[in-house]
Chains A and B, each alone.
Chain A
Amino acid sequence: MSLRSPLGRVLGHGAAKEGVHHWWAQRVTSIALIPLTVWFVVSLLALPSFDHATVHAWVSQSWTALLLILFVGIVTWHSKLGVQVVIEDYVHGGTKTLSLILSTFAHTLVAAAAIFAVLKVAFGVAP
Chain B
Amino acid sequence: MPDRPLSPHVWLYKFKYTLVSSFLNRITGCVLTAGLLVLVYWLMALASGPHAYATAVVALSHPLFKLLLAGLTFAFAYHLMAGIRHLIWDTGHGLERRQSRKSAWFIGAVSVLLTAALIAWACSRMGAP
**A residues neighboring B (CB under 8 Å):** 13, 27, 30-31, 33-34, 37-38, 41, 45, 47, 50, 52-53, 55-56, 59, 72, 75-76, 79, 82-83, 86, 89, 92, 110, 113-114, 116-118, 120-121, 124, 127
- Cβ A79 vs Cβ B40 within 8 A: no
List chain B residues, Cβ under 8 A from A121: 46-47
Binds A, one of B11-19, B94-102, B103-111, B118-126: B118-126
Residue in A13, A52, A86 whose CB lies within 8 Å of B53: A52
Interface of chain B: mostly helix, strand, loop or mixed: helix
List chain B residues, Cβ under 8 A from A92: 6
Known: A34-B84, A55-B53. 14 other contacts (CB 8 A): A13-B2, A31-B87, A37-B80, A50-B126, A72-B39, A72-B40, A82-B33, A110-B37, A113-B40, A113-B44, A114-B39, A117-B40, A117-B46, A118-B43
How long is the Cα–Cα vector from A92 to B1 in the complex, in angstroms? 11
How long is the Cα–Cα vector from A68 to B114 in the complex, in angstroms? 22
How long is the Cα–Cα vector from A76 to B35 in the complex, in angstroms? 11
**B residues neighboring A (CB under 8 Å):** 1-2, 6-7, 26, 29-30, 32-33, 36-37, 39-40, 43-44, 46-47, 49-50, 53-54, 57, 76, 80, 83-84, 86-87, 90, 118, 121-122, 125-126
List chain B residues, Cβ under 8 A from A27: 87, 90
Cross-chain pair count, CB within 8 angstroms: 81
Knowing A27-B87, A34-B80, A41-B76, the reply to whether A75 touches B47 (Cβ < 8 A) is no
List chain A residues, Cβ under 8 A from B30: 82-83, 86
- Cβ A79 vs Cβ B33 within 8 A: yes
How long is the Cα–Cα vector from A45 to B124 in the complex, in angstroms? 10
- Cβ B118 vs Cβ A41 within 8 A: yes
Residue in B47, B54, B121, B126 whose CB lies within 8 Å of A116: B47
List chain B residues, Cβ under 8 A from A53: 50
B85 to chain A, nearest CB (A): 11
B58 to chain A, nearest CB (A): 12
- Cβ A83 vs Cβ B33 within 8 A: yes
B22 to chain A, nearest CB (A): 12
